[in-house]
Amino acid sequence: MASGVLIFGEFADGAIAGVTGELLGVGRKLADSLGEELTAAFIGDGIAQDASGAFPMGADKVYVVDDPSLRLYQSESYADVAEKVLKQVDPNIVVMGTSTMGRDLAPKLACRLETGLAMDCLELSAVPETKGLIANRPVFGGKAMAEVDCGSVRPSMATVRLKSQEALDPDSSRSGEVVKVDAGLDPSIAKSIIVDSVQVEVEGVRLEDARIVIGGGRGIGSIENWGKLEELAGIMSGAVGSTRGACDEGYCELDTQLGITSKTVAPELYMAVGISGASQHMSGVAFSKFIIAINKDAEAPIFRHSLYGVVGRWEDILPAFQAKVQELVSE
């Protein structure tokens, strides 16, 4: 009989990835509300020794599929071993991140298991009486929220948006059982081949990890002006994000775009410069602790989301702000 919550964690650069902490945080909440066990599963190569790091983060049990053929994500192979883990664990609820892996793997597993899937959720809760999953996810480009009741479907599956959940404070006293699962892969099942994997070099702070993010929109006006945002971000040890409009204008690279269909950040401070505040963009920064906006339009939607707002031309406001920041940093 199905029981418990299963999350599929991830590794990055040889260590448990940040998304795993978020998944264990929400998974712990779901498991506790049901009075059941939380299991973490990891798939990869050379990860068995470090997988136990999931225990201090909230896991009760850990399943590991460690095989050289799983060094890089490969769709069919990962789906095959993930299905094997799922059948062994037999959980009520399965949760993944809306990451590169999760976007591809979750639908494949749902199809194989003939179950439903709620993608890119912002909130998850469980109904103790039915042990069913309730998922809240944005729809219509982030303009509305839909509540998905998974009912009696088992397992109930969902992916959660990155940076939308909080990891638990590590508890070093926690421990548990690590179960190793043999991959037993048939190479012929792979319909695609990973030819190469290239690590993109990032100067300064990674956008997803930055404590301070300066966001720029179409209102910045030019590539030259964009450099001023990058200069300010450098002084503040932050990173620069963008709207789709800024990317379309060619002011910045596409990998800086924040929004419902791109990256999500949750910095301590998000400063929106020349951004109107469209719902699609705000979905990507909604979990920022503080939002400050600079816009010449007093009626811009961005001000409804901001703790502080300055109405005026950013060209007049930003230089004085930067000078003050530079003064404080130099002290």
Is cis: bond before 170, omega within 30 of 0? no
Cβ(49)–Cβ(84) under 8 Å? no
Q: Which pLDDT band, with edges at 50, 70 and 90, does 204 fall under?
A: confident
For residue 301, the one-letter residue type is P
Q: Which pLDDT band, with edges at 50, 70 and 90, does 288 fall under?
A: very high
Residue 227 has a pLDDT of: 96
Q: For the residues 308-328, what does the mean pLDDT come to?
A: 95
Cβ(101)–Cβ(78) under 8 Å? yes
Q: Measured between alpha carbons, how far is 97 from 255 in angstroms, rounded to an integer?
A: 19
Residue 240 has a pLDDT of: 97
Q: Which pLDDT band, with edges at 50, 70 and 90, does 109 fall under?
A: very high
Q: What angle do CA 309, 315, 318 make, to 5 degrees?
A: 55
Secondary structure element (H or E) that encloses residue 296, with its range: none
Is the pLDDT score of 149 beyond 90?
A: yes
Q: What structural domains does the chain harbor?
A: 5-189 (3.40.50.620), 207-330 (3.40.50.1220)
CB atoms within 10 A of CB 195: 5
Q: Which pLDDT band, with edges at 50, 70 and 90, does 300 fall under?
A: very high
CB atoms within 10 A of CB 208: 18
Cβ(238)–Cβ(215) under 8 Å? no
Q: Measured between alpha carbons, how far is 256 from 93 in angstroms, rounded to an integer?
A: 33
Considering only 64-68, 93-97, 137-141, which range has the smallest mean pLDDT? 137-141
Core vs surface per residue 50-77: b (16+ CB within 10 A) or e: ebbbbbbbbbbbbbbbbbeebeebbbeb
Own/partner contacts of 137-141, CB < 8 Å, gap of 24 or more, are 138/260, 138/283, 141/260, 141/279, 141/280
Is the pLDDT score of 152 beyond 80?
A: yes
Q: Measured between alpha carbons, how far is 235 from 326 in angstroms, rounded to an integer?
A: 7
Measure Cα distances from 236 to 108, 207, 219, 270, 272 in Å. Answer: 42, 13, 22, 12, 15
Residue with the larger pLDDT of the pair 198 and 110: 110
Query: What single string gives the DSSP state of each residue in 137-202?
Result: EEETTTTEEEEEE-TT-SSEEEEE-TTSSPPPPP-TT---EEEE------GGG-SS------PPP-
156-197 tens-digit pLDDT: 999 999 888 999 999 999 999 999 999 988 877 778 877 777
Is the pLDDT score of 203 beyond 90?
A: no
Cβ(168)–Cβ(58) under 8 Å? yes
Residue 229 φ/ψ, nearest 5 degrees: -65, -40
Residue 126 has a pLDDT of: 94
Residue 3 has a pLDDT of: 87
Q: For the residues 31-45, what does the mean pLDDT come to?
A: 97
Residue 202 has a pLDDT of: 72
Radius of gyration (Cα) for the chain, nearest Å?
Answer: 22
Q: What is the pTM of this model?
A: 0.84
Cβ(38)–Cβ(31) under 8 Å? yes
Sign of CA dihedral 169, 172, 176, 180: positive
Is the pLDDT score of 251 beyond 80?
A: yes
Mean pLDDT of the chain: 93
120: left (phi over 0), alpha (psi -120 to 50) or beta: left
SS3 for 329?
A: helix
